[in-house]
Amino acid sequence: MRIAVAILLVLTSLAPAAFAAQKNVLLIISDDQGLDGGCFGNPAVATPNLDKLASEGTRFANAFATVSSCSPSRAVIQTGLYTHQNGQYGLAHAAHNQWTRPNVACLAKLLGERGYRTANIGKNHVQPASVYNYEVTVGPGGATPTAEAASKFLAEKVVAPATLSSGSAFVVVLSPDAQEQWLYLADGTNHKVWILRRSDLEIVGEFGRGGRQVGQFLRPHGMSIDSQGNLYVGEASTGRRVQKFALQRAAAK
């Protein structure tokens, strides 16, 4: 059996107000998959990761597709509209060339407007791209390339790995430039702010240390950037002061 998978990844924005409240979303769509997998009682198919998802969440024993065809079924899932409403009546490829109506909003647009980062990794098979406008789109190419693409989108950086206690990552905010090139990470355990390049999560700088003097911190726990590019860092320790820092572009290079 060949199963093509599209992994629609949606990550929360790093905006401080939304960071704690929003949940990450992972939507997996597979072709031609019935009740195949260990979680459905099939001993011949090994699906340990899906089994784990099933054990930690809700497993539905009955599911129904609105259309027994790939593109229109995917369009229904991503738009929440039946084919006669979204316009994707048939397949998107070759002579079929069926399109979703341009005024329809899909998950990428709806969640993007609410501060989420979005990616479609794997099989897509819907059009146009202006409707299915994920921030990152990586076409199918086998299990390994798909996994590598997902890993790149979900990049993880360990900052100060020797840190014990409550860890070193408390709050993250994006730099105020149009490209949002930098991440500012408040480290409440090591009493400092780390600066990371957003594209590869490389640490490019840091400032602050433990203490009560200007420029020093005691458990920095909250951060925000205003429209003028000033960074405000709040502390959770005794005193709970807020300090203001003027960000300089040259310092982040």
- DSSP secondary structure string, 42-84? -TTS--HHHHHHHHHS---S----SSSSHHHHHHHHHHSS-HH
Reported residue count of the chain is 253
Question: Which candidate, 192, 193, 194, 174, places its Cα nearest to that of 182?
Answer: 174
Catalytic residue among 70, 106, 107, 193: 70
User: Could you give the C-alpha distances from 97 to 72, 89, 90, 91, in angstroms and in order?
Assistant: 12, 10, 8, 6
Tell me if residue 39 is catalytic: no
Yes or no: say if 201 and 174 are a contact pair by the CB < 8 Å rule. no
Tokens of 99: 């399109």
CB 99 within 8 A of CB 92: yes
Cα 232 to Cα 184: distance, rounded to the nearest angstrom: 11
Helix (H, G, I), strand (E, B) or coil at 206: strand
Q: What is the CA radius of gyration of the chain?
A: 23
With H, G, I as helix, E, B as strand and everything else as coil, classify residue 252.
helix
Active-site residues, by number, are: 70
